[in-house]
Amino acid sequence: MLVSATEMLQKAVEGHYAVGQFNINNLEWTKSILQTAQELNSPVILGVSEGAGKYMTGFKTVAAMVSAMIDEMKITVPVALHLDHGTYDGCYKCIKAGFSSIMFDGSHYPIDENVEKTKELVKVAHAMGLSIEAEVGAIGGEEDGVVGMGECADPNECKMIADLGIDFLAAGIGNIHGKYPANWQGLSFETLAAIKEKTGDMPLVLHGGTGIPADMIKKAIDLGVAKINVNTECQLSFAAATRTYIEAGKDNQGKGYDPRKLLAPGAEAIKATVKEKMELFGSVGKA
């Protein structure tokens, strides 16, 4: 069922595990993630970036597809449909489209403006029964071919934003989106501990889940991370499996060019990646 992410993440904090947010790009992605969550009896968050929303022709299409799939596939585990790194306007669009959760990323605004906008969106989201994530300290990643190092958020600013009544908080601790460069310094557990101390039981969100070693993931969960976002890793496994299929010439054998066959190995690869992450995050059996 489609639910807000509040309860599943509060339970995760209490139970010392994390719920995965897996970003979706199309029908195959959504189907693979939902199937895996159901098979493993795990709660799940489907993340939709504004770019992916546009690609899928708009947030209304996404919300309709996800709701219909939950129904047709008889998905009984809790599923949240969440806007990833939303702009102010994007948040309003997703609230209207029927999402069950939003992220307002005001990290690029001066802190006062981030506070004002987040405060307003908390009120609107909660009035409509949605959960809301906010961000402090930008999360790095590749921009124009340059891979930036992740910033570390200021714990006092984290407290200011957490006190606005948000449901979960994304705070930079040296994490970045996409693949980690060879000279990456690792997560700053010192920053994470300081943020945890200021924000108490607030579920913390770790973006850039792709490529973070398992021991760092486990330590981050011990220190209060209750939601981990994974996007690139599913894209890499989908691409690798599709490449293998085509390079083996399978698209030329029989009706191997049929999209239902051509996209099947990639869809299976996404399922394997999601399973591996749910096992690592500890959310299996927690629905």
Question: Per-residue string for binding with ligand 13P, 159-178, x by CB under 6 A?
Answer: ------------------xx
Element (H, E) at 14: helix 6-15
Residues 226-285 that bind ligand 13P (CB under 6 A): 229-233
Residues 179-218 that bind ligand 13P (CB under 6 A): 207-210
Total residues interacting with ligand 13P, rule: CB under 6 A:
15
CA atoms lying within 13 Å on the CB side of residue 189? 10
Token code pair at residue 9:
């993440």
Q: Does 151 bind ligand 13P (CB under 6 A)?
A: no
| CA-based torsion, 263, 276, 105, 84: positive or negative | positive
Give 93 or 207: the residue with its C-beta nearer to ligand 13P.
207
Residues 74-133 that bind ligand 13P (CB under 6 A): 84-85
- Shortest Å, Cβ 211 to ligand 13P: 7
Strands 19-23 and 225-230: parallel
Residues 45-64 that bind ligand 13P (CB under 6 A): 47
151-189 burial, b for 16+ CB within 10 Å, e for fewer? bbbbbebbbbbbebebbbbbbbbbbbbbbbeeebeebbb
Token code pair at residue 158:
């984290």
- Shortest Å, Cβ 90 to ligand 13P: 13
- Shortest Å, Cβ 84 to ligand 13P: 5
Of 71, 84, 89, 167, the active-site residue reads: 84
- Shortest Å, Cβ 175 to ligand 13P: 8
- Shortest Å, Cβ 227 to ligand 13P: 10
CA dist 185 and 257 (Å) reads 44
DSSP string, 152-202: B--HHHHHHHHTTT-SEEEE-BS-BSSSPPTT-----HHHHHHHHHHHTTP
Q: Which stretch binds ligand 13P (CB under 6 A): 4-12, 62-70, 224-232, 243-251?
A: 224-232
Active site residue 84: yes
Residues 6-35 that bind ligand 13P (CB under 6 A): 23
Token code pair at residue 11:
């339970």
Q: What is the dihedral of CA 243, 246, 248, 254, to 10 degrees?
A: 150
Give the footprint of ligand 13P on this chain (CB under 6 A).
23, 47, 84-85, 177-178, 207-210, 229-233
Positions annotated as catalytic residues are: 84
